[in-house]
A and B are shown apart, each in its own frame.
Chain A
Amino acid sequence: MTRRPSLARGAIRVVGGVALLVLLPSIAAGQTPVTSLGLGYPVPPLDGRAAALGGTGLGLLGGTFTSRNPADLNLFGRPSIGATLSPEKATVKSTSGDQSIGRSRLAVLQAVIPYRSWSVGLTINAELDQNWDVVLRDTLETGFGDYPFEESRRHDGGVSSVGLAVARRVGMFSAGLEGSVLTGNLRQVFRRNFDAEINDPDNTIRNAAGDSRWAFNGWRFRGGVLGEIGGRALVSAAVTFYTPLEARKDTFGIRIETQEWDMPVEISVGGSARVSERLLVALGGGWQSWSATDFTVLRTESSDVVWAGVGLEYVGASLLSMPVPLRAGYRYTDLPFHEEGFQQLSETALTLGAGVRIAGGRALLDFAVEFGSRGDLQNTGSEESFRRLSMSLGIVSR
């Protein structure tokens, strides 16, 4: 009898009395959620208001719980805290049909304490979403019998940031600095659960399973300025640097491994202007140097990211005597990671939203709904349409 040590891909082979079923890790077009690409999906650090205004979030008059620029902390005149939850329903397109999946994130949590011309802020952001879960069903044909199985591959986790920021107002200008630690972990799970043999319920084989856990660590430093123009407009700009992002495999019983990736330089510019008594316009954009990170792992590459957004806010509506700002916008952003041999993915979304100011503006509720899409199957290898809801609750001290 011959022993065949060779491995084949994606098929069952019976050669010389040796049957091989081989399922190798791979990434290919068709059934790839964007959270599985590269280091994951970059989560924009937006609250409900900024998300509804085209994902701008820079120099927004009235303030925003968005952490794009630490200098914007000076837009809060009182101690405030806000949190934003961003569930998302995505439809992943593939050649074999469309499937819906769900994601949910705590996008940003920000607390601000102003003191005279200073403001101090604490921010917690979701940075890279790496959650996904795929299931494969097939039958393993062996010399022992034929066993249907269900294979599950799952990633739970991602990268978050916890940052401390300080800003100071000097006349018409503010400047801010932020230092954040990038942290988080990722659990990778593989399961292959076999049913009993098709024709013999007593003929069973053992399941296969494995998992690993990675812990992320890195630093981010961000500086920004904010300028006020005639009391009706704001201009905001920020630049961001990172230390390399380190991932350390710390699974018990598995050889310790460490991987490192360079992270990009980011430049963000934006602002807002009150063009009439009841109408505000917001603009924002930026660039991230992902191509310089030389990120090429497992047939995944990275490219520079350009993003831009525009939004309008109408503040003339009210509900039960409470002012209810109405917002709309549009945004465009590239995604940094894509599969080798495919074009870079970009994401566009139409954004809508509203807010409620309760108790004289001391409690803030902001909602945004985004209808958008990412990539196209033919050119980028992955395609998703999505609806994202951003819900923010803010509390402002007396």
Chain B
Amino acid sequence: MSVRRAPLVALCGLAAVAPIGCTEDFLVVTDPDDAPGASTPTIEVLLDARDLPSWRDTSYTGFTIPSGASYQLVSERTDLRARTLGRFSTIPDSVFVDTARVAIDSFTSAYVRFRVDTARSVISEAGIEVALLSMARTFDADEATWTRARIGEPWTTPGGDLGEELGRDSLTAPADTLAEQPDSLVVALAVDVDSLLSSWRESEGEPGFALSLLGVDTEVRVNSIALVAGAVPEGVDTVVTIVRGADPSTFIFDPATPEVTTRLRQAGLPSARYYFDFSLPDSIGLAELRGAIINKAALEFRPAAAPDDPFALAGELGSQTVRLLADPFVFGEKTPIGGTLGAPALLDPDSLAAGTVVSYDITAFVAAWSAVSADSVPLLRVGIIPFPENRAFGYWEFYSVEDADGLRPAVRILFTPNPSFLLP
């Protein structure tokens, strides 16, 4: 190569290597101990309720009572007897005929229809038979139990003071068939319908009716009750069908739901929730928890043994954490609740019976606690409520702070303290 061409070759060479330094790549490291720079541990802690600066928990009941449940229960099992009570308090004295409202002259026929939740009912191959009876004593739907018609007024006979029988019906569940199963009990009133319905109309349904099972080892869950009657308007040669729901309606059962203890109860009738408040430590050992990034936080509750029959939770049920807006140990059942704290958990009886821990995500709640000044010492107030609350008859209990080591509630937190940036 001549000396005169050398500059050109040199320039071409420089142009070729010019881009080499223009990339901005990162260095991939395989061992954090070999990497420079500020880092910070991500730490997982499981804090037993008793090891927290404070933890109080309790159960409250009565949020849903039988008269507010989404179903009515009729049962003749060895471990549970139940009867549905109700009144048809809105029987009209007139009906529309074409465009005119005309007074009812008489009732020609009537039956009471009970929509049955066949999936949750216990119907033997022989079927079931129910009897609709008139009550001999009025009752208060919110206060009636197996032993009393209302507070301070016991039944003459536990289970309700029953009067004359108004009608019967039976329901069979045919085996080995693809046919649609019947889902209604229709009890035709086998009495003087006009007299009975006129009486109920005049007294707003008093004293009411009761639905009772005649067999044994059967149970029926009723989703709705309706009176269907044929009414003859005055001066009109026609029959108008009227339909009225039972209002109020309830059911009474024996034995009564056990009283709550120190365990934390969920669902049941009257339905139970558990409320608690707690505080978290500002630091875990050398790591600052207050002010740290909360990667995840959860409450963990360990289920106790299944309640005795018939009170064990029978099917899956949702369970939701909510923020309490006031001190639950001051306001009790009336403690106002705020928004939900995370996705609901699913209570599965099989899983609970196996002792599987139920976990509730409270990441956002703890993160909000972490973000506030360390000068304030806010209590974290949480309620756990069944969802939906008016559907379950059974309940489940969880160990509380008063129980033994390894059983108590716990708070699991995954957190990353703020890195300490030093120079160099």
Contacts and interface: CB of A to CB of B under 8 A. Distances in A.
Most buried by A among B7, B46, B47, B284: B7
B7 A152 contact: no
Given A5-B284, A10-B33, A135 B423 contact: no
A361 interface: no
B405 interface: yes
Interface stretch (A72-80, A94-102, A168-176, A233-241): A94-102
A337 B36 CA distance: 14
B414 A142 contact: yes
B18 A391 contact: yes
A3 B35 contact: no
B424 A297 contact: yes
Nearest to B27: A134
A214 B423 contact: yes
B152 interface: no
A225 to B, nearest CB: 34
B424 A28 contact: no
Nearest to B410: A1
B44 interface: yes
A212 B150 CA distance: 69
Interface stretch (B60-68, B217-225, B265-273, B288-296): B288-296
Contact of B293 (A22, A188, A209): A209
A319 B25 contact: no
Contacts of A211: 421
Nearest to B45: A18
Interface residues of B, number: 66
Given A7-B286, A317-B3, A21 B43 contact: yes
Given A10-B33, A103-B21, A210 B42 contact: no
Interface stretch (B8-16, B159-167, B193-201, B227-235): B8-16
A1 to B, nearest CB: 4
A1 B51 contact: yes
B42 A192 contact: yes
A31 B24 contact: no
B21 A104 contact: yes
A94 B3 CA distance: 42
Contact of A208 (B8, B42, B286): B42
Given A9-B33, A194-B295, A99 B285 contact: no
Given A6-B285, A7-B287, A317-B6, A31 B35 contact: yes
B291 to A, nearest CB: 10
A144 interface: yes
A373 interface: no
Contacts of B18: 87, 389, 391
A99 B21 contact: no
B20 interface: yes
Given A10-B33, A31-B31, 15 more contacts: A1-B410, A20-B43, A24-B41, A31-B27, A31-B29, A31-B30, A86-B21, A99-B27, A136-B32, A206-B296, A208-B40, A211-B421, A300-B424, A317-B4, A387-B21
B412 interface: yes
Contact of B48 (A1, A188, A337): A1
Contact of B42 (A21, A130, A186, A212): A21
B234 to A, nearest CB: 65
A205 B37 contact: no
A188 B423 CA distance: 9
Interface stretch (A34-42, A267-275, A279-287): A34-42
Interface in A1-58: 1-7, 9-10, 17-33, 36-40
B330 to A, nearest CB: 29
B418 interface: yes
Interface string A322-348: 001010000000000100000000000
